[in-house]
Structure 1
Amino acid sequence: MKKYSSELKAGMKLLKPVYYENSILINEDVILDRNAIEKIKKFNILEVDIVDENGLKIEEELEKENMLKEVFELEYENSIEKAKEILENAVSSGIEAEEIENIIGESIKNLELDSDVLIRILQGESAADYLFQHSLNTVIISLLIGDSLGYSKEKLELLGKGALLHDVGMLKIKKETLEKSEDLSSDEIMEIKKHTAYGEEIIGDKIEKDVLDIIKYHHEKMDGTGYPEGLKGNEIPEMAKVVNIADIYCALIENRNYRERYDYYDAMKIVMKSSISLVDDKILKSFLKRMPIYPINTKVILNDGRKGVVSKASSNPFRPIIDIVTKGVAERINLTEEGNLTKYIVGVDK
């Protein structure tokens, strides 16, 4: 960014060196003070290149977000290990209520701190077994939806428990069936569909009814084509509907033996397409508020031809906040702001 010497203020940072008669007068990256500004004026330097203040703010924000992400990533890996213990112990020796409450409590606290960073964590890879990572991812997305629906802390705790335990019945199914890379036989599909009944059998009456309903009914569909009971519409408990959409989305963005993960934009398109008859419209809208059409880090193309990266969600899922870097200068554009309403996303840069 060019600045006339008359516009210079203490605290500004030089983007390029200041030259006088082919010699460097002041080096780049120097933070200007009163003496440096007077020196520039003394040598009749008309204008200098200054680092854009918005760019500096963006860099500082990104640095802060990355630090938070590193902390949460460590917690995330630890939580996957705890989830593994909880689910395996549920099968062998029964559920551990205190451990479940601890892991859900931590997830809710993290949700209050920075949900955007939590969403970014899902975009990373983990060495954990699929089932345990999937269970924790489903907890995170379910809590984001529940929070968007205005659930109380007590209700979020029940939702989180159900999301964590929703696939516990999978541990009763042969590992070779779950890890098969070819098409499953009809018998194998029927066996996998029994995981809801196995989950109910494992947990029994040792937990709240709302949690048990999630385990039993998270594969029911609005049009009655789901399982195990073919429930329709309002017959399906609301929290089971929340975990249903979280389960679908998380399964799409995770690697499986029989396919690679979908990128986040394509996963969102699949979820939205399925909304026609399979998922609850109110739940879908709450999901989209917290998991926008263009997830964080999606590379997008604007109608003016510029390319950028989605940095944050906004109140409108179709118009996120985008970072654009042009010739080393960063610019943050909020597509919902009045001055940016003529700009819009025309595609994804894959």
Structure 2
Amino acid sequence: MRLKSVESLVPGDVLGQPVYGKSGQVLLQVDVALTSSYIRRLRQYGCTYVFVRDPRTEDVELQQSISSELRQEIVRKIHRTLDRFANGIERRSLLREGELGATFRDLFNMLFQNVLKNQVVLTNLTSMYSSDTFLYSHCMNVALYAGAVAIGYGYSEAKVRDLGVGAMLHDIGKLAIDRKILDKPGALTEDEKRQVEMHCQLGYDMLTQQPNISRTSAHCALQHHEKFDGTGYPRGLVGEEIHEVGRILAVADVYDALTSNRAYRKAFLPHEAVEVLYGESNAHFDPKFVQLFVKHVNVYPPGTPVTLNQNLSGIVVDINTDQLMRPVVRILQESNRDVTPYDIDLSKHLNFVISRCDDHASVSFVG
């Protein structure tokens, strides 16, 4: 199993994981042999990377933080509920009866019980989704990432649940923004920027109308675009003036947005997104929550092609939960020449480091 960019797929490649659509439905099943037509469809879906079979790494198990079945069920329910909420008449009913809060508390409870309660490390959640799933899968992914950071920070179960519900609903204000503006591929006008920035206050106002959504959850919507240096919005808060949940959400939100396929750009690889988080520590992000994020989210999932120093290339085959940045790598090439595969545990061999990580690493993947 290995990660491969859609641009480098060839007919005959076999999918190692399903590809999901807007409502969480499976667009292409695992073990489908790709044809030219399927590859074109993947490009049309906006997919950037997929996992494919490779006989040299068939023993590698992809570590799924969330099962395909649970993922589909939750994304489908998010899709259905938010579509109802986008309808003005349905929205009033959902708010009046408290159904919105009840639904998302139930959904986050499913994530907590089935994923967060028993996992120390989350694997990147987004690589197999098409670009039109973003709003719905983003709700779930941000809740998982934020929940993992909160647990690592020592939050009680009750606080994790409040954060998780708020994380799932942090972008609900966008339902009141013109979709054409949200998906615009080019630069926004000043007026369009102002409209987009309104989603934080709009979301907060919507959530505070809910009797069963806490003020902490509502602050997730209000403050997830505040920046640690005071240059964020809507209030330009600085440092610890920003609610803790806002500082956690900022990291989780940006990471998932970067690693997700969007209509206007390709997804970043996980390690590339982490480089952005590190680069923006003390500016956009509270550095302690960046450190916690990297400690609890695996940026080199098994199947990732990497190049090491000393002209070695291969595939990540396992992780070290206490040193996520130093996984086990199966070497397939030395100085661009194929070799009999062998494994190097980077946590035990500190003279080796990952120097490059993408589908264009110098591994010549042969069937």
- Structures share a fold, TM > 0.5? yes
Counterpart of 1:152 in structure 2: which amino acid?
S
Map 1:227-238 → 2, pairs under 5 A:
227-238=233-244
Q: Which residue of 2 aligns with 1:246?
A: 252
What are the superposed Cα offsets for residues 6-26 of structure 1, whole Å, 9 maximum, x if unpaired?
xxxxxxxxxxxxxxxxxxxxx
Partner of 1:315: 322
Q: CA deviation at 1:346?
A: 2.8
RMSD across aligned positions (CA): 2.7
Is residue 292–residue 313 contact of structure 1 (8 Å, CA) maintained in 2?
no
Residue 10 of structure 1: aligned partner? none
**1:253 touches 1:267 (CA, 8 Å); kept in 2?**
yes
* 1:203 matched to 2:207: yes
Alpha carbons of structure 1 residues 146 and 297: separation in structure 2 relative to 1, 3 Å: farther
C-alpha distance in 1 between matches for 2:125 and 2:138: 13
C-alpha distance after superposition, 1:74-119 (max 9, x if no partner) = 3212211111233344451224333212211121221344565x52
Aligned positions, number:
287
- Following the alignment from structure 1 to structure 2, what is the Cα–Cα distance between the partners of residues 285 and 159? 19
Identical-pair percentage? 28
Whether the 8 Å contact between 1:302 and 1:346 is mirrored in structure 2 is yes
1:225-281, CA deviations, whole angstroms, 9 ceiling, x for partnerless residues?
A: 111111111111111111111111111112222222222222221221111412101
Match of 2:351 in 1: 342
Residues 153-200 of structure 1: CA distance to partner in whole angstroms, max 9, x if unpaired?
212111111110000000001111112222211101100000011102
Q: Say if 2:105 is the partner of 1:101.
A: yes
- Which residue of the partner structure matches residue 142 of structure 1? 146
Change in CA separation of 1:296 and 1:184 when aligned onto 2, cut-off 3 Å: farther
CA distance in 1, matches of 2:247, 2:204: 17
Structure 1 329/74 Cα, relative in aligned 2: closer, same or farther at 3 Å? Answer: farther
Cα deviation digits, residues 29-76 of structure 1 (max 9, x gap) = xxxxxxxxxxxxxxxxxxxxxxxxxxxxx865x34x46x57x712321
What amino acid is aligned across from residue 160 of structure 1 in structure 2? G
Amino acid paired to 2:181 = T
Residue 281 (structure 1) aligns with: 287
Query: Given the alignment of the two structures, is residue 133 of structure 1 paired with residue 137 of structure 2, yes or no?
Result: yes
Distance in 2 separating the partners of 1:123 and 1:220: 27
TM-score (norm 2): 0.70
Is the 1:295–1:313 Cα contact (8 Å) retained in structure 2?
Answer: no
Aligned to 2:156: 152
Write the distance in 2 (CA, Å) between the matches of 1:121 and 1:293. Answer: 10
Instruction: Name the structure 1 match of 2:195.
Output: 191
Seen in structure 2, the aligned counterparts of structure 1 residues 295 and 226 have a Cα distance that, compared at 3 Å, is: farther
CA separation of 1:317/1:129 partners in 2, compared to 1, >3 Å: closer, same or farther? closer
Contact residue 301 and residue 345 of structure 1 kept, 8 A = yes
- Structure whose alpha-carbon radius of gyration is higher: 1
Equivalent position amino acid for 2:253 in 1:
D
1:83 alignment partner AA? I
Structure 1 residues 77 and 171, CA, compared in 2 at 3 Å: closer, same or farther?
same
CA–CA separation in structure 2 for the residues paired with 1:144 and 1:308: 29
Q: Identify unmatched segments of 5+ residues in structure 2.
A: 1-56, 361-367
